Structure 1
Amino acid sequence: MRTYNILFLCTHNSARSILGEALASTHPSGKFVGYSAGSTPGGKVNPIAADLAVEMGMDRALLKSKSWDVYAYPDAPKMDFIITVCDNAAGEVCPFWPGQPATAHWGFPDPSQVQGSDIEKKAAFVAVMNGLQKRLDILAAMSLDKLDSMSLKEVHTKA
């Protein structure tokens, strides 16, 4: 079975994109390898996002806040899908992605901006995680070899 590389983009690459990377990499279908990056990475992964990713089975050492530039280099993994998960990253001019991967925007509110108790903050991260999981489940059920950008965008409207 072929696996598909998915790059999740968010401005700071500290929460939503990290969750996307972890969910894709640990998806039960085995169809995806997740990556994440940001246009202006914050340099650290949000601890709640990191804990959830580890609970999914990700190695904490692999969770890094990094620039999307690292995936534009010639020796970088070729992406099949580029998915922005925050409205800021969706509106930015992205680097050229070799191979013309399908792109989509699956916008979610920033859970790291939630104020309140630790339980309320974690609930915001879990809500984003569940939303991403639902979209990845729909994507995994599709015939990916025939998928194009328009079909990928429809995953957002069905979720």
Structure 2
Amino acid sequence: MALRRFVVVFVSRRNTLRSMLAQACLSHLGSERFAAYSCGHPAHLRDTIDPAAISALASARMPVPTQLPRSWSELTRSGSPQANFVITLDAEMLSLQPRWPGQPDAALWDFPDVAAMSHPEESARAALLMLYALRRRLELMVSLPLHGPDRDAIRSDVRDLAYMQ
């Protein structure tokens, strides 16, 4: 009997760095239990994945997501995978998000906007540090007993991961 895969959506402003790192990391760590997606604000999307994200993923030997940055409107339309968890990586995007179908559990794991840094070397280093921080959180998330009957405890555990350093 196959276990149900949990759908996790990561949200950031442009969907070029933070959410791409999180999607790639969760796909790397838990693809048998999780389907990871990423998206951004429709007005702020970029055309390509940030070079700092590509560099960080290469350093960690993780594959770069194959899809281009996408809007959250693509993940809220009919026929899209229904999220179990929406994890917002940019506090400014929290109040701007659409209503997600199915009322998924939500968490804020706020990370700085590394893609907005002016020096590429700083951005690349910050992206790698962010990837390591995301990896620690996601390793714990992957190990959570998500099929348990206490939905409130699971929701709290995912939200509490935001406070890890």
Category of TM-score, reference length = shorter chain: 0.7 to 0.9
Asked whether the equivalents of residues 29 and 140 of structure 1 are also in contact (C-alpha less than 8 Å), the reply is no
Unaligned runs of 5+ in 1: none
Does residue 130 (structure 1) correspond to residue 132 (structure 2)? The answer is yes
CA–CA distance in 1 between the matches of 2:82 and 2:30? 22
**TM-score, scaled to structure 1:** 0.86
1:83 to 68, 82, 87: 87
CA–CA distance in 2 between the matches of 1:46 and 1:108? 16
Q: Match of 2:147, SS? A: helix
Counterparts of 1:4-153 in structure 2, within 5 Å, are 4-28=6-30, 30-39=32-41, 40=43, 41-53=45-57, 55-58=61-64, 62-92=66-96, 94-116=97-119, 118=121, 120-146=122-148, 147=151, 148-153=154-159
**1:72-105 deviation digits (Å, cap 9, x = unpaired):** 111101111100001211232x222122111000
Asked whether the equivalents of residues 20 and 132 of structure 1 are also in contact (C-alpha less than 8 Å), the reply is yes
Give 1:154's aligned residue: 160
Asked whether the equivalents of residues 4 and 31 of structure 1 are also in contact (C-alpha less than 8 Å), the reply is yes
How large is the Cα RMSD of the aligned pairs?
2.0
Q: How many residues align?
A: 155
| Larger displacement relative to structure 2 (99-108 or 48-57) | 48-57
Change (3 A) 1:156 1:46: same
Asked whether the equivalents of residues 27 and 34 of structure 2 are also in contact (C-alpha less than 8 Å), the reply is yes
Unaligned runs of 5+ in 2: none
**1:21-45 deviation digits (Å, cap 9, x = unpaired):** 1111111573222110001312321
Letter in 1 for 2:162: H
CA–CA distance in 2 between the matches of 1:125 and 1:87? 18
Change (3 A) 1:7 1:50: same
CA–CA distance in 1 between the matches of 2:78 and 2:57? 28
CA offset at residue 57 of structure 1? 2.3
CA–CA distance in 2 between the matches of 1:6 and 1:113? 25
Letter in 1 for 2:117: V
Letter in 2 for 1:52: A
**TM-score, scaled to structure 2:** 0.83
Asked whether the equivalents of residues 52 and 120 of structure 2 are also in contact (C-alpha less than 8 Å), the reply is no
CA–CA distance in 2 between the matches of 1:36 and 1:117? 23
Q: Match of 2:16, SS? A: coil
Letter in 2 for 1:154: D
